[in-house]
Structure 1
Amino acid sequence: MEIAVTIAVIILVIIVGMFLIHRLNAQQDERIGAFRYSDALPGIGRRNRKSPRATAPKGSPADATRRERRDGSR
């Protein structure tokens, strides 16, 4: 008898949790639908870079290693 009550309580808690999650999702959907999207305010958002990013030297790292060995081996 105790096992049946425990199983019933677990099932009831799962159902209540599913209902609660469903309501919270519906509430969030309403908030998202009501939100007015617009352009970012001036000064907020992506910044323009003043200088380009540093780029890696051309060629593979293996080429640089071979060059170092060749120059330093003699």
Structure 2
Amino acid sequence: METVVTVAVIIFVIIAGMFLIHRLNAQHDERIGAFRYSDALPGIGRRTRKSPRAAVPKGPPARRHTP
């Protein structure tokens, strides 16, 4: 009789754990779906620049330190 109860408790705990993991995965998927971290593919949906990016940064020339 004790063996049957032990097996039933083990099966119940396994089923409860499976249900808990399933719910946690569903919550995690909902959170991931709610936030957009980056584009699906690079370059898709981005606006193009009106002018090409400058090769040299603008601004005053860098001062060289000579010893």
Q: TM-score when scaled to structure 1?
A: 0.50
Tell me which stretches of 4 or more aligned residues in structure 1 moved more than 3 Å.
none
Q: Per-residue CA shift, 1:19-74, capped at 9, x if unaligned? A: 000000000000000012248xxxxxxxxxxxxxxxxxxxxxxxxxxxxxxxxxxx
Structure with more helix by fraction: 1
- The one-letter amino acid of 1:35's match is F
Query: Which structure ranks higher in relative contact order (CA pairs < 8 Å, sequence separation ≥ 6)?
Result: 2
Match of 1:20 in 2: 20
The one-letter amino acid of 2:27's match is Q
Equivalent positions of 1:1-74 (< 5 A) are 1-38=1-38
Q: Percent identity between the aligned chains?
A: 85
Unaligned ranges ≥5, structure 2 = 40-67
Which blocks of at least 5 consecutive residues in structure 1 are unaligned?
A: 40-74
Q: TM-score, normalised by structure 2?
A: 0.55
Q: 2:63 maps to which residue?
A: none
